[in-house]
Structure 1
Amino acid sequence: MERILQYEITNEYDGISINDFLLQHGYSRKLITTLKKTEFSIIVNGKWTYTKERLHQGELLRVSIIEEHNSQNIIPISMPLDIFYEDEDILVVNKPSNTPIHPSQNNYENTLANGIMYHFKEQGLSCLFRCINRLDRDTTGLTIIAKNMLSSCILSNMMKKREIHREYLAVVNGLIPAYGTITAPIARTFGSTIERCINFERGEPAITHFRRLSYKNGYALVSIKLETGRTHQIRVHMKHIGHPLPGDFIYNPDDTTIGRQALHSHKLSFKHPITKESLNFFAPLPSDMKTIAFQL
């Protein structure tokens, strides 16, 4: 896959080196090193140029990002994909339940990565699989895939700066307060590679904001926004305040009302990594969660 970007140099960047210009536009040092090693990847006014050279107002900088390899350990598998948005930089997908993001031991084929790599193959694209906001296997909803090295750099940095705004919907046990904030550090449970717990001595900071949307027959539908992104954060925090998710086989194994944890990535809002256009996506509540939340 080749992604070509062009920049007309304005007065603001007159005299700046190409290296510093690229850094200011979201290119990582690793990506710049890759560009240095690729012939004709950086061209100014039609001439192949070194990154140490300085730019001048009115010049045209052309950058070619070339990717010739796929994720070799991910087998392309045809599967239905609920694609909400796609262009040459990103892909936004509504992930179903019982679908891990990445292949793992004993599960090499039933993952979102397998389906995405097949989708790329059908388009004749050479891309690595780069998922920006990862979801648990049984958490449904919106996730972002970067289609090239630059969009991956920028989106990953946006995640660190909390510039990708995520809203989840969860069904929880009991009448949860109308709204609140949970501040409780999360650590790996001793002796487990998967389970997490609240641990005020060695846990990493974790903050969750919630708002009750409805309550019926012992279950509440809750809107959740995260300030941090710890593993199993919502599931652990909801259990911590006495309102675990039904169907959560790790943190609420006795409630089998639903066959998975009742958690859905409902909303994503962020600026496009290249065009800077504001993007907003909404994935409706899945039918299995509707059945519990509204007792349909």
Structure 2
Amino acid sequence: MKSFQTHKVSQEHASLTIEDYLKQVLHYSGRKIQKLTRQKGIFLNGKAAFLQKQLKLQDTLRVLVVEDISYGVQPEAGNIEILYEDDYVLILNKPPYQLVHPTGQTTSGTLANYLAYHLAEKGVVSTVRPVHRLDRETSGCIIFAKDSRSQFLLEQQLKERVLKRTYWALTKGIVEPPAGTINAPIGPHPTSPNRRAIHAKGEEAVTHYQTIRRFSDASLMELSLDTGRTHQIRVHLAHLGYPIIGDRMYGVRSPLMSRQALHAVSITFEHLGDNRQITVNAPLPLDFERILNSFGK
């Protein structure tokens, strides 16, 4: 069965030809456009359309999705929690301790393996494309693109800060000031290849934070990122003097939690079909709920 993606023409793109829309808005190459026309894969308001047809506001353009030929990973049966899905993206709730994608010697048991199996069960062949990463111990929202064009557009949203990621972290100590911005460059650690560190020659890294709740010797923080450096939140909070509870790499072990208390609580992005703003939330995992309850008492 052929799969199509639907696009509503906005005022900004009205008066473009279909060919211009495919090139300028969807970033299709000339070769790919030729392939679409050969396969009769372009429809305007339900009818086959010519490339030079001029678009009008609120026109509906349907474009054939050129299917992938592999998943990019080995499909493997396992549980996934889908928080949101449309023609372009999937957002999953990653449990703690699971890798997003195979890396190094770990080739199975990852979220990507399980997602590939889920797609195979539905009879869909689509390369698994995570748009960003979460550390193994971090839980919560992670977004996957369903095709290369969607991946490109989501990565553009990430660069332009249209796609926004919000995190909750439980830190040691009462954070002062209670809200602010950490702007400190991050690069490789001078002695440990697995760690990152603040140093002048690092890449720009900007984290915004605010305190949600204070406890006797801990703070529940909400954080958002302008950049996406490896371990950014963990490094920045430790640099500020308030390491995440349970973060053994940048802080200390905790008897209250066996991992870092960091959760990707939401993702906000612009729908790739009609430009609506969409926010997807991930519930707190049980271990995070338990530690909050213990502090709350």
Provide TM-score, normalisation by structure 1: 0.86
Match of 1:154 in 2: 153
Verify: 1:218 aligned to 2:234, yes or no: no
CA distance, structure 1, for counterparts of residue 196 and residue 88 of structure 2: 34
1:100 aligned partner, one-letter code: L
Q: How many residues align?
A: 288
CA distance, structure 2, for counterparts of residue 60 and residue 257 of structure 1: 53
Give identity over the alignment, percent. Answer: 32
Q: Is the 8 A contact 2:207 2:224 kept in 1?
A: yes
Gaps of 5+ in 1: none
1:247 aligned partner, one-letter code: G
Q: Is the 8 A contact 2:82 2:90 kept in 1?
A: yes
Match of 2:54 in 1: 56
1:48 shift after superposition: 8.2
Match of 1:190 in 2: 190
1:209 shift after superposition: 1.2
CA distance, structure 2, for counterparts of residue 2 and residue 149 of structure 1: 17
Verify: 1:91 aligned to 2:116, yes or no: no
Match of 1:241 in 2: 240
Deviations 1:96-123 (A, max 9, x none): 0111111012211121101100110011
1:63 shift after superposition: 2.5
CA RMSD in angstroms, aligned pairs only? 2.7
Distance 1:24 1:239, change over 3 A: same
Deviations 1:172-228 (A, max 9, x none): 11111221211111011135432110002x111111111112222422111111121
Distance 1:175 1:57, change over 3 A: closer
Instruction: Kindly report which structure 2 residues correspond to 1:251-290, keeping only aligned pairs within 5 A, or say none.
Output: 251-255=250-254, 257-290=256-289
Which stretch has the larger CA shift, 5-14 or 96-105?
5-14
Which stretch has the larger CA shift, 231-240 or 283-292?
283-292
Gaps of 5+ in 2: none
SS at match of 2:157: helix
CA distance, structure 1, for counterparts of residue 293 and residue 266 of structure 2: 20
Q: Is the 8 A contact 2:91 2:142 kept in 1?
A: yes
Match of 1:115 in 2: 114
Q: Is the 8 A contact 2:8 2:273 kept in 1?
A: no
Which stretch has the larger CA shift, 234-243 or 247-256?
247-256
SS at match of 2:150: helix
Verify: 1:36 aligned to 2:34, yes or no: yes
Instruction: Kindly report which structure 2 residues correspond to 1:111-190, keeping only aligned pairs within 5 A, or say none.
Output: 111-177=110-176, 178-190=178-190
CA distance, structure 1, for counterparts of residue 180 and residue 60 of structure 2: 51
Distance 1:161 1:23, change over 3 A: farther
CA distance, structure 2, for counterparts of residue 148 and residue 75 of structure 1: 18
1:54 aligned partner, one-letter code: Q
Verify: 1:104 aligned to 2:103, yes or no: yes
Distance 1:56 1:217, change over 3 A: closer
Distance 1:149 1:35, change over 3 A: farther
CA distance, structure 1, for counterparts of residue 82 and residue 6 of structure 2: 28
1:79 aligned partner, one-letter code: G
1:256 shift after superposition: 5.0
2:123 aligned partner, one-letter code: G
SS at match of 1:152: helix
Provide TM-score, normalisation by structure 2: 0.86
1:189 aligned partner, one-letter code: H
